[in-house]
């Protein structure tokens, strides 16, 4: 039996109610609430027309330039899943395009993230189905494997386990580990509410920026 060529079972998934709560939280606030230590990489940008990505990770480890295991994941995707593909960040061959993305959308997939390239960019940017990728190329993929489905992957150091929560917006995407979703939501929601109050003060011209001067003084800045 070949090593690195396997479809694993997914043993846990974030609850749908938790996914729904996170849809209203900005990725930046989630990231800040996780000590700014996790990031999906600055290269992976939203390619679609706009809208929030939020769902449960269905992970794929693919050989760069090959999408056989992405097809395997498509056959196993459940409504609300986000297919997260680590294709090594290679941009030589597109991992998927309009046909596969249309099928993913049809079966209820919440979105697709590819650490690699996509094609049919015209279709992607004209539609709201969430697609994040590192680049675009017209050259198509091979379909011979190997690879794995529902395995641990890492994108720019951010570890993603099957069943983790994935949230994406115009700033990029982030993974919230399964065991931390409630704790992270509480912190991110509190931060977002605080920012909303600050915005009200900004518009009213009453925002308090005295903290800046206190920090400068604490740091020993001259010329105050």
Known binding residues for substrate are 97-100, 119
**What size, in residues, is the chain?**
224
Tokens standing for 94?
């597109």
Note whether 134 and 116 are within 8 A (CB). yes
Indicate the annotated binding residues for Mg(2+): 120
| Alpha carbons 56 and 111: distance in angstroms, whole number | 10
| Alpha carbons 220 and 224: distance in angstroms, whole number | 9
Indicate the annotated binding residues: 97-100, 119-120
């Amino acid at each position: 039996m070949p090593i690195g060529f396997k479809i694993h079972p997914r043993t846990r998934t974030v609850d749908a109610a938790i996914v729904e709560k996170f849809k209203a939280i900005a990725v930046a606030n989630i990231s800040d609430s996780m000590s700014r230590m996790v990031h999906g990489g600055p290269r992976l940008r939203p390619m679609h027309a706009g809208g929030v990505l939020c769902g449960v990770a269905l992970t794929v480890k693919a050989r760069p330039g090959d999408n056989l295991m992405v097809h395997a994941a498509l056959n196993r995707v459940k409504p609300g899943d986000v297919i997260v593909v680590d294709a090594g960040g290679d941009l030589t061959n597109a991992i998927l395009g309009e046909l596969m993305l249309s099928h993913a959308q049809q079966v209820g997939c919440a979105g697709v993230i590819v650490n690699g390239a996509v094609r049919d960019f015209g279709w992607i940017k004209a539609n709201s189905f969430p697609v994040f990728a590192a680049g675009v190329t017209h050259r198509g993929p091979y379909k011979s494997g190997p690879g794995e489905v529902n395995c641990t992957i890492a994108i720019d150091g951010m570890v993603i386990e099957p069943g983790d929560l994935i949230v994406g917006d115009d700033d990029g995407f982030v993974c919230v580990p399964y065991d931390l979703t409630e704790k992270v939501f509480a912190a991110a929601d509190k931060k977002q509410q605080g920012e909303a109050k600050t915005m009200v003060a900004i518009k009213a011209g009453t925002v308090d920026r005295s903290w800046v001067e206190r920090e400068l003084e604490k740091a020993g800045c001259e010329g105050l």
